[in-house]
Amino acid sequence: MKTALLSFATALTLFVTTAASAAPFDHDRDLRRMSPRERARYEQAQREHDRQMARERARWEAQHRRYRHDDRDYRRH
């Protein structure tokens, strides 16, 4: 009887942990659960975020490109 009860508890624990790990982590941002208006707003925010990150990356690269050229000794060439 103890073995059957322990086996049942183990099976139940494995089932619960497997179901929990298979579920999406962020239920609020699951695009399938959003209304079309919410999805459009979310996608617009994502595009704006991507554009902002691209602008910041370009600014950083330009700034470091300028610094890299300042360190060179052009008289050696």
Global confidence as pTM: 0.49
Mark the ranges of the chain whose per-residue pLDDT is less than 70.
Answer: 19-28, 66-77
The distance in angstroms from the start CA to the end CA of the chain is 87
Handedness of CA 27, 31, 36, 37 (dihedral sign): positive
pLDDT in tens, 47-59: 999 999 999 999 9
pLDDT score for 64? 82
